[in-house]
Amino acid sequence: MKAGIRKFLSLTIPLFIGLGIIYYQYTTLTPEELEKIKISFIKADYFYIFLSLFIALFGFWSRAYRWKFALQHLGYQTKFRNDFFTVCVSYLVNLTIPRSGEISRAALLKKYENVPFDKGFGTIVAERIVDMLIFLLFVAIGFISQFDTIYHYLLDKNVKFETLIWTAIVGFLLFILFALIWIYAEWKIILKLKQKLSGLIEGMQSILKMKDKWKYIFHSFFIWFSYLAMFYVTIFALPETADISFDVVVMGFIFGTLAVGFSNGGLGAYPWAVASILGLYGISEGIGTAFGYLIWVSQTLLTIFLGLLSYLLLPILNKK
Residue length of the chain: 320
Please state, rounded to an integer, the average pLDDT across all residues of the chain: 83
Separation between Cα atoms, residue 234 and residue 6, nearest integer Å: 37
Prediction pTM value:
0.82
32 against 206, higher pLDDT: 32
Q: How many CB atoms lie within 10 A of CB 162?
A: 8
Which range among 134-143, 194-203, 273-282 shows the weakest confidence by mean pLDDT? Answer: 194-203
Q: What pLDDT sits at residue 115? A: 87
Helical H runs in the chain?
Answer: 2-28, 31-43, 46-73, 80-94, 101-113, 117-145, 147-156, 161-184, 188-209, 213-234, 246-260, 269-279, 285-317
pLDDT tens for residues 63-85?
Answer: 999 999 988 888 889 999 999 99
Separation between Cα atoms, residue 183 and residue 186, nearest integer Å: 9
Separation between Cα atoms, residue 164 and residue 301, nearest integer Å: 41
151 pLDDT more than 70:
no
- The DSSP call for residue 44 is -
